[in-house]
Chains A and B, each alone.
Chain A
Amino acid sequence: MSARTAIARGLAPVDAAAPCVRFERVSMVFRGQGGHPDVQALCDIGLTIREREFVSLIGPSGCGKSTLLRIIADLVLPSEGLASINGEPPRRARLGREIGCVFQEPALLEWRRVQDNIALPLELAGVGRDERAARTAELLELVGLKGFERAWPRQLSGGMRQRAAIARALATRPRVLLLDEPFGALDQITRDRLNMELVRICEATRATVLLVTHSIREAVLLSDRVVVMSPRPGRIIADLAIDLPRPRTLLTRDDGRYADLVQRGTSELERGYDGSER
């Protein structure tokens, strides 16, 4: 990681950056089918994420976190309200290949070797063979999969598959990176290690990041902001600024403020649960 990107991320006044991802009064209702009642997944979400900010979304299962990501990735349209990227509908950003997405599962194409999986978005964008090969080599290096370029996905471990999925999401140098619990299924130690790699990768790519996680510790360790959601229908109930110094390492956890922030996040989450019971 270069010192310059670290400074750009840590020390530049965040407020000076332009808004990038924006939700305005977004609600989402899934129409029930075959006698099932409607499900209100999101309720009146307002959220602005600035250029190159790293924001984590945390909230109970089923509160609509994935739905929020799917809205900004132009995979679904909200029932109400507006979502935008750089002031344009998400569709524009998607067609401009400015969105990278890592889903809850790696979703690799089992008929393609690792290198061809990573190169897929470039191929779809019509990038030439030589340029594709060069970029793929770069990405393999970045996510630490060098030496596995010719492996089949089924020959990789779970963590390696997610790294391949991250490399694929980064292939077209997207300005917005959406990560939906990318390491959800991994053990704690592997997860910590991959999280640190994620910090490094995000600093290297200078993308705006929206990460969904179930771990408040992970959220605090990685983010500039942690957005806490209530149980369904999901609302934003807290928005914590994480002013820990960058670059973040595992040692950041020894910072006194880290424990405070985790504590605050946890109590906000719990407050959400209590509120929903009333």
Chain B
Amino acid sequence: MTAASDRLAVELGAPSWLVAAWRLTWPPLVTALIVGGGWELLIWALEIPAYYIPAPSRIWQAFWANPGNLMVHAGITLLEAVSGCVIGSLLGAMLGTGFAYSPLLARGLLPYFIAANTIPVVAIAPIIILWFGHGIESKIAVTTFLSFFPLALNMMKGLQSYDRVIMDVFHVAAANPWQRFLKMRLPSALPYVFVGLKINVTFSVIGAIVAEFVQADRGLGFIIMTTYRSLNMPRLWAALFISALIGMVFFGIVNALERLAIPWHSSMRTDV
């Protein structure tokens, strides 16, 4: 099927990037069509009420009833997720670097960080919101908190994962500590950094929505809370899908960055 559709695209004179994009998008599109179609049919056939599970067409309608409004709320959640992810990852990377260079610091702090990392976000979010107030800042603080640990731990592991023989190569070539960091330890840490970033992408979207559950007057979490109270389930489901979409786009951006940053890494092979 791929080969046939590719040939067709070439005959139609489609540019190569379009062919490549099509090759990536058609399999999930087919999945969406089959699942969505089956879902729609089942709802009609079994006459399931819309507040229980709405049919895709009803969710679609709910979205188009006021698309601008939903998108504004989605934008706020996205802003909270992205800023928290960026700030938390940066701070985490800095602390992880400290851990990698100072075993004493790591031994002194790491147990508490691991303990703090296991606190569920629903438990910590109210406290953070109490501290940072009712605005968007408190939601960013929650996502920052969540993004902090994955990067601190992965950065530490990454910076420690350099090859000992390569270290010897740098030693014999009389490299200074800064060159060792920049040209050896940091590049070998990058694959780990991206593992951490991908965790953070998911965490920070979840974190933003949970924080909005606790207290908010805007954002997708707010929409989900209020529509649930009024049993406007199709609109709730629309918000749900948008939040998933945000996560996907965000993840896609990190994936693209990874391709740019570590094209040499074995996970980036194109032949699989």
Task: Using CB atoms and an 8 Å cutoff, list the residues of chain A in contact with chain B.
Answer: 70, 73-75, 94-95, 97, 99-101, 103, 105, 107, 109-112, 120-121, 123-125, 152-154, 168, 172
Q: A105-B165, A124-B175 are in contact. List 9 more A-B contacts (CB 8 A).
A: A75-B172, A95-B174, A103-B165, A107-B168, A111-B190, A111-B264, A121-B173, A154-B264, A172-B173
Q: Contact check, B172 vs A120: say whether CB atoms are below 8 A apart.
A: no
Min CB distance B40 to A, Å, is: 48
In contact, A120 and B264 (Cβ under 8 angstroms)? no
Complex Cα gap A111–B185 (Å): 11
| Closest chain A residue, CB of each to CB of B162 | A109
* Residues of B that sit less than 8 Å from A by CB: 163, 165-166, 168-175, 179, 183-184, 187-188, 190, 262, 264-266
Is A94 within 8 A of B266, CB to CB?
no
| Chain B residues whose CB sits within 8 angstroms of the CB of A107 once the complex forms | 163, 165-166, 168-169
CB distance from B259 to the nearest CB of A (A): 14
From B184, which residue of chain A is reached at the shortest CB distance? A109
CB-defined A-B contacts under 8 Å, sample of 12: A97-B173, A107-B168, A109-B187, A110-B264, A111-B262, A120-B173, A121-B173, A123-B183, A124-B183, A125-B173, A125-B174, A154-B266
Contact in complex: A101, B169 (CB < 8 Å): yes
Count of inter-chain pairs, beta carbons less than 8 A: 60
Whole-angstrom CA separation of A168 from B172 in the bound complex: 12
Q: Hey, which chain A residues are within 8 Å of B179, CB to CB? A: 124
> In the assembled complex, which residues on chain A have CB atoms less than 8 Å from the CB atom of B183?
109, 120, 123-124
Q: Which chain A residue shows the least CB distance to B163?
A: A107
Which residues of the other chain, A, contact B170 by a CB distance below 8 angstroms?
Answer: 124
CA distance A172 to B163 in the complex (A): 22
Instruction: List, in ascending order, chain B residues with CB within 8 A of A168's CB.
Output: 169
